Structure 1
């Protein structure tokens, strides 16, 4: 009996490894892997696959681009989207583009099997998988943590989308160990010549601690306030920024905590620098940020000229504890 041919497309080694481990153990399947959408399309154009498991947020070509190309080129391959972007609008768009199902990351094995059965894609023979057919990628700490962040930022975006009634465009998150000078450069890139207001909120849990920093460009504050449905004559910009920060930071930290099995206590959000330059922010906080595990997520609101940056700055001492928490995912 011929085996089922599966293509898994995700830029994260961690996500591909999780998906491979979620597959039914007695499913006779051969698996090919792609690390971005363009690579997946090139495989689809030259080989037959019975199913594509597709991520949305990827470099080079994202999942929406893959679905669009599959339809435009008449490529015959059923697609199930597996994504951390769980906005209602994301589900609507991929369904409209032809995806047969949408699963949120990390895919639960029982739900994946149920979906495969419902779509008539699962053929079980009772035999074991050939070991060579499931070559698991190697996962580093950075890759594992980036995937945890990817899932968490997707949940934060979904909550923000519901609050604002918009579609939030998600990037591939950056995860780096930065010295204060390197952090300075990363923040300079975020500034883009505009003056900033930053909201800072500390967090701690299970010995892991740090600060979340949400950077707002001053030129976009009024537009964000309008999205928060506050009229210009009665809204307080700083109050609006604190409210929005609570939504984004709280949801993102909650998503991280759930995945690594900790509970974060959060301090009160504070305005760190009103109409300040990056140089001022760094000068005021360089002792706290001397060396940090920095996560950068740049959100943008579709249809509006609104962008803001979320930085999660974990202390150097938190890295060994995070590594321990992620070890079961990386193993």
Structure 2
């Protein structure tokens, strides 16, 4: 089943997982790992993204981050596209590096923040890449060493993490290390990769209580949190979806109104402007509609092309020539766009 769209709002906490295509390695050398970390160092501050935890394994990596003024999709696209291109050039290869698109889970902060910091930082021990916590304390490819003060990565927000463990840095690091050590015995924790309501409501039997559209959300891997958190996300996205639909409908009505106005001025039927005719009056009408819609009403070229049933090139010509055509007919922008009482 295809995944739904990304769930993201400014300030949201995400657990991000990126895997190599066909489980192949995405890191072949320390230079590869350094390359990715350099991209975090550049892109995180530029996008207002806070990174709290991370670990790099041969064929995948994990991040715990909070989005800022840039969406998670744009942040990760910048990181992954640049890295994949550089990786391919370094290793003289071609083709996709990553498995599909990255996975991101929207996380409820209070119950899961520290659990995920620990889960992500202990990943190298679970994978057998690092043997024990003492080795992990200074291992360069996990954010654990940064929290412990053994490595310096200014882009990693260690202060926020340590603030959960104590007032002084020294005491906080000691408490954090104990917290990490206590988590080693827990092993793999698949529940930390998403599926909010199925856990919170007591299993699949409880889902019958939900409305049909919400049922999909109950075990949606894009959300990790309590029933209240998932419900809140569901309502937020539903409201945004409704607002988006209203916006799309309003744009379509505005464009249709413009087509009617221009057609009336030229003595044409609305359908004639999108019927593929090449008469001068039809060509003029399309040009005027294209110019006003794109330059003054904020429609995209593709929107106008679909509405008029013409090519993008035809719309682009109209955008450039429509102003002169309006002037030749003595039409003003208000004549063609202002709502009639």
TM-score band by shorter chain is: under 0.3
Which is higher, the Rg of structure 1 or of structure 2?
2
Structure with bigger RCO (C-alpha 8 Å, 6+ apart): 1
State the TM-score, normalizing by the size of structure 1: 0.23
Question: Which of the two has greater helix per residue?
Answer: 2
TM-score for the superposition, normalised by structure 2:
0.22
Q: Which protein is richer in strand relative to its size?
A: 1
